Amino acid sequence: MSQFYWVRHGPTHANAMVGWTDLPADLSDTAQLARLAAYLPADALVVSSDLIRARDTANAIQGARQRLPDDSALREINFGAWEMAGFDTAPQPERLRAFWETPGDLTAPGGESWNIASARVTAAASALHATHPGRDIIAVAHMGAILTQVQTALGITAYQAFGHQIDNLSVTTLNYDGARWHALGINHMP
């Protein structure tokens, strides 16, 4: 059996939809980072999205753990024309509302849909699991990427997955029993 410890990167303090924009994380809360690093299994592998906020968070909690190469497939949803816009200033507000209220095949203009992002992250997680069978993996990623995996583990709709909070520097633990993923904890703050 293996477990994935999905860690959301440190805060960016951006008040906008941040998808593929490469903003740094605020990693000044060293006490929280130390608690997080101590909570995670010492022999787990560490991987992250290739965006700096995830990569730097992974480096901050890595310790003596083996680091795998960054994986661009673990990125946040690509918000396209909505990138770095606020919910009240984004173009095509009706489409934006539908994107969040009925997540699925609707794409952000010039971006990707929930289903595309979910398939991307799920394929990356499956490849990591297949390449490192039986190993625990700490995956430092983004809220949307983590929620795609919560959706899979709980067998819920994307809209229901959005009901789960994923705080910065939180841990969502998913366990694979050989047949399917199960959620052991969502949004745990060590």
pLDDT score at 177: 86
Cα 43 from Cα 110, distance rounded (Å): 40
Q: What does pTM read for this prediction?
A: 0.96
Residue 151 DSSP symbol:
H
- Going from N- to C-terminal start, the domains of the chain cover 2-79+114-188
* Among 113, 176, 111, residue whose Cα is nearest residue 139: 176
Cα 161 from Cα 151, distance rounded (Å): 5
8 Å CB contact between 8 and 169: yes
Across 78-82, 89-93, 134-138, least confident range: 89-93
pLDDT score at 134: 92
- What would the mean pLDDT of 17-35 be, rounded to a whole number? 96
pLDDT score at 11: 97
pLDDT band for 87, please (50, 70, 90 cuts): confident
pLDDT > 80? residue 1? no
Cα 97 from Cα 102, distance rounded (Å): 8
Predicted confidence (pLDDT) per residue in 117-129, tens digit = 999 999 999 999 9
- What is the enclosing helix (H) or strand (E) of 183? strand 181-188
- What is the enclosing helix (H) or strand (E) of 34? helix 30-39
Cα 153 from Cα 147, distance rounded (Å): 10
Dihedral pair phi/psi, residue 5, rounded to 5°: -105, 100
Task: Return the amino acid letter for 155.
Answer: G
pLDDT band for 2, please (50, 70, 90 cuts): confident
CB under 8 Å to 125, separation ≥6 — which residues?
Answer: 4, 139, 149
pLDDT score at 178: 81
pLDDT band for 138, please (50, 70, 90 cuts): very high
Q: What is the CATH number of domain 2-79+114-188?
A: 3.40.50.1240
- What is the enclosing helix (H) or strand (E) of 48? strand 45-48
- What is the enclosing helix (H) or strand (E) of 137? strand 137-141
